[in-house]
Amino acid sequence: MKFQFYTLFNIITSTTLFFVKAQNENIVNNGEFENLDTYYENELYSYVCTKSCKSVYERYQKCFNILDNEYTMAEYSEICKAYNENDCKTFLEDLYTNETVCFNGAGPDDFNVHDEITMNKIYYLITCSTDAQGQLCPYSSLVHNKTFNTTTIYHMKENVNGKVDESCSKRPCRENLRQALEYLVPLYEYDVKVDTDLYYESEFIENDKKALDILKSEACIAQDPEPIPIVNDTTTNIENSSDSINHMSILYALFIYIISILIV
């Protein structure tokens, strides 16, 4: 959602926007690329991108449109609930799939579209993650109670005041935080590469990588009371296919059942 990501983007003046818009219209009129119109608080934000990238975004456009226009002032709990509505079903199905079409696209705004899709995934993983018992993960809880905001997590200080370690014993929390950071690092690396004014993000890159090392370490994973083999390939789904997501859901359900028996 755009309102959460302004700290990650350059703010463009209205004069610059005028010339960019005129240039983009010329590109579109030449038939090379297409307009992708998005809205935030009912104001138009238009991308110029390849047709294939536009098609990827359109998979989630209804979901993003609702969240960007109807939930901009909502509490985090309401936003997380909205993600579970039908219009966001496809987005959640693709949550662990690294978007590559726009990332590799040749359109003027293809990478920006990739950025928005990926930042929405990061936002959900950070804000709405729950453990196997359905309780908010430590970092999500800190966001909901406003101890941290999402930018604090994105701009990670080393070990996020210990909240990385706190997630080690909760596999869903650990893996969702890991996934969010693995999505985030390439975005920061791209920022630093294309804009020297964003060099300060190098600190976040290093701290995110340190946090990832903790999350993937044997010492962290060993704290899980019911360790499950970890799949480290995040170029596709965390378990490499949508069928595996369903399999993971079954494992989580089984885990909850076993714990409930032990508690009784």
User: What backbone torsions phi and psi does residue 223 show, to the nearest 5 degrees?
Assistant: -80, -10
- Tens of pLDDT, residue by residue over 104-115, are 999 999 999 999
pLDDT of residue 1: 43
Q: What is the mean pLDDT of residues 147-163?
A: 69
Question: What whole-number distance in Å separates Cα of residue 148 and Cα of residue 168?
Answer: 19
Query: What is the pLDDT of the chain when averaged over all its residues?
Result: 77
> For residue range 70-97, what is the model confidence (pLDDT) as tens digits?
998 899 999 999 998 889 999 999 999 9
The pLDDT, as a whole number, for residue 226 is: 66
pLDDT tens profile 51-76:
999 999 999 999 999 999 999 889 99
Q: Kindly report, residue by residue over 157-215, the tens digit of the pLDDT.
A: 665 556 688 889 999 999 999 999 999 999 989 988 888 888 888 888 888 898 899 99
Q: Any idea where the domains of the chain sit in the sequence? A: 2-263
pLDDT at 150: 75
Q: Report how far residue 224's alpha carbon sits from residue 206's, in angstroms, rounded to the nearest whole number.
A: 26
Long-range contact pairs involving 134-138 (C-beta distance under 8 Å, separation at least 24): 137/167, 137/170, 137/172, 137/173, 137/176, 137/177, 138/163, 138/166, 138/167, 138/170, 138/173
- Is the pLDDT higher at 12 or at 69? 69
Lowest-pLDDT choice from 11-20, 82-91, 222-231: 11-20
pLDDT recorded at residue 90: 95
Taking only Cα atoms into account, the Rg of the chain, rounded to an integer number of angstroms, comes to 19
**The pLDDT of residue 253:** 44
Q: Is the pLDDT at 218 greater than 70, yes or no?
A: yes
Residue with the larger pLDDT of the pair 229 and 68: 68
Query: Confidence class of residue 30 from pLDDT cuts 50, 70 and 90?
Result: low
Please determine, for residue 228, whether its predicted confidence score (pLDDT) is greater than 90. Answer: no
d(CA 137, CA 167): 7
pTM of the model: 0.74
Contact (Cβ atoms closer than 8 angstroms) between residue 115 and residue 107:
no
